[in-house]
Chains A and B, each alone.
Chain A
């Protein structure tokens, strides 16, 4: 299995939804489809989100919030979905790493909404944890906080049965671009 297939396979194993897109047109079509799938009425984006990724969402009647200036947590708590970029993807473990630069935004915006749509470039996806750590050394040096996300929020606390969806976003959609 090649790197991208592995990445997809691992994420599906965690019950995330994964799709491939080439170009902004396909990305924005997928974003809209996913938002409609969860019946999202509001969408929040980080300050530097690529606007081309959400073309057509406003026209579809979805309210768009930009986290600049920072939104209150009560507002974010009522926001249905968030779209962010990522810094690194790890194939072997099905992990997205956010280092919360401006195209990913503050940690809180990808936490409170129940649906997280994450766009990661195919070239950002590495095979192993070791490679990812190497890539991320500069983020640590820059004192950026980091969130490693492997699937939607989950728990095994009841009889060690995995249940998706506790406190974090219950729906994780991943778009691999390029």
Chain B
């Protein structure tokens, strides 16, 4: 059967190879790395500049965190309120437990309208449920209208960033894609198209204008959903969002249940956090808000699909749920030294980068090779957590998920790490034993006149082929203590704290994942929060009305 839209690459994302294997072809692609480096360094600088402009930026982040935490803690209440308000506003509300249900609901609505073409605003959640392909299978063409998504769709490609999905493409590649593909699916690109971004954008404008004008049905996601007014918010730049939200007769919006905020007042915080964190602008060019059907203006049939797709399960996990605060700004990926070098594709998910590594395995479960490897796709440098506008402790969550991977797959591929950890546990459990290990290591160190070991037989080679192994200290700390402080107060008080002493501290990796809670919990910036100067603090639980009563 002939396809209606360009085919994406074959295969499913969840079948991607483990991260460490998947990155190899990308690491070898110099063009890709150059594109990414340029893009991420540009946006990092912009973000840093505009966040520094607000003296209360840190307070804003804390309040953003509080608003999202509060909503998630009372999510059933706010979801019910949101549904009630939407219905009062003339919208039709649908609930979808998973991707399959969501696609079926949307397909049915489109089919009932008797159309075979829809336009779509860029939306991560529609990528997550693979809506385009579900519609294509039912003979409905779903057109991406965001410029970057259009580049990806016409390029038979997959997005590699949640904010700038074609971040991996440069202007020459984009020109080629437009010249080759636009003519197959609508208004062709002008033959003399050059690689100037301005002209490339103009070609997209021309190509999509016809589609906007004739579309009867549009599909969108939502950046925020305001529970107490039944309002949806779309934050965008190009105006394709406004086109989709305004021109067609029917609008279908799908949103993850975590996108709620209690009341309109909370947007004062969110609409400062998101644009500055995302594109590094003081404000994005266009933000649209609508509350159901507006008589005589815009779509007169409005549907809202509320999607779970794993979120309910994540919410039950008191540690993992912090990820649900995410507002999809992409600041973490632009900051990440790993993402910057490999791009989004090796993450095997529509959510790449640091946030993807903690979100995807939780939404999909830790069963596939890629999902088990994602928590390890990090150096734990912490740059992501420093910029996150809602203070998601991504490194802590990575460590937590590594622990879960090990726990849930004890007999799996991490058998060796397990044995090493067990060995270390045995050695450290008793003071006497630990002392002996220290002595032994010192002995070995003194016997070999080396600073570093450059080669070890397997399995030690797994370490030494990438790095040298520092020799243990020649004398243990206990020995030093005895010599220098022996007989003093606290005699014999050193009881083998990990990290002290000369025990062959095998791979740093071995230190994480062993603790139940050691690494999870407040980082240095996470002090208690009090409302910043201009920001009304979050107040009022579900019983006494929604958040931000204006300090009344």
Contact = CB atoms under 8 A, between A and B. Distances in A.
Given A107-B297, A129-B268, A163 B201 contact: yes
Contacts of B146: 157
Contacts of A167: 145, 205, 208-209, 212, 238-240, 242-243
A103 interface: no
B197 A147 contact: no
A141 B550 CA distance: 15
Interface in B197-236: 197-198, 200-202, 204-205, 208-209, 212-213, 226, 229, 231
A177 interface: no
Interface in A63-81: 70, 73-74, 77
A137 B39 CA distance: 38
Interface in A130-161: 130, 132-134, 136-137, 140-141, 143-161
Contacts of A95: 283
A93 B282 contact: yes
Nearest to A106: B297
B208 A137 contact: no
Contacts of B267: 133
A73 B238 contact: no
A130 B298 contact: no
A145 B208 contact: no
B238 A155 contact: yes
A52 to B, nearest CB: 25
B113 to A, nearest CB: 17
Nearest to A93: B283
B379 interface: no
Contacts of B283: 90, 93-95, 129, 148, 150
Given A14-B285, A140-B291, A157-B147, A168 B238 contact: yes
Interface residues of B, number: 68
A128 interface: yes
A14 B285 CA distance: 9
B43 A160 contact: yes
A38 to B, nearest CB: 16
Interface in B165-216: 165-167, 170-171, 174, 197-198, 200-202, 204-205, 208-209, 212-213
B425 to A, nearest CB: 48
B229 A153 contact: no
B355 to A, nearest CB: 19
Contact of B285 (A111, A136, A150, A160): A150
A29 B112 CA distance: 51
A155 B286 CA distance: 11
A166 B239 contact: yes
Given A166-B204, A168-B285, A159 B197 contact: yes
Contact of A133 (B42, B264, B290): B264
Contact of A159 (B39, B202, B534): B39
B300 interface: no
Contacts of B213: 73-74, 77
Contact of B151 (A157, A163, A165): A157
A159 B170 contact: yes
A153 B268 contact: no
B272 interface: yes
B151 A145 contact: no
Nearest to B166: A157
B267 to A, nearest CB: 6
Contacts of A108: 246-247, 297-298
A159 B35 contact: yes
Contacts of A166: 147, 201, 204-205, 237-240
Nearest to B235: A148
Contact of B164 (A143, A147, A160, A168): A160
Nearest to A169: B239
Given A14-B285, A153-B237, A158-B166, 16 more contacts: A93-B282, A106-B298, A111-B242, A128-B534, A132-B268, A134-B268, A146-B287, A146-B288, A146-B290, A148-B286, A148-B288, A150-B282, A152-B285, A155-B147, A156-B164, A168-B238
Interface of A: 10, 14, 70, 73-74, 77, 90, 92-95, 100, 106-108, 111, 128-130, 132-134, 136-137, 140-141, 143-161, 163, 165-169
Nearest 6 pairs of A and B residues by beta carbon: A168-B239, A167-B239, A93-B283, A166-B238, A157-B148, A148-B287
9 contacts: A77-B213, A107-B297, A111-B239, A111-B246, A143-B291, A147-B289, A150-B282, A157-B201, A169-B239
Interface of B: 35, 38-39, 42-43, 89, 145-148, 151, 164-167, 170-171, 174, 197-198, 200-202, 204-205, 208-209, 212-213, 226, 229, 231, 237-240, 242-243, 245-247, 264-265, 267-268, 271-272, 279, 281-292, 294, 296-298, 534-536, 550
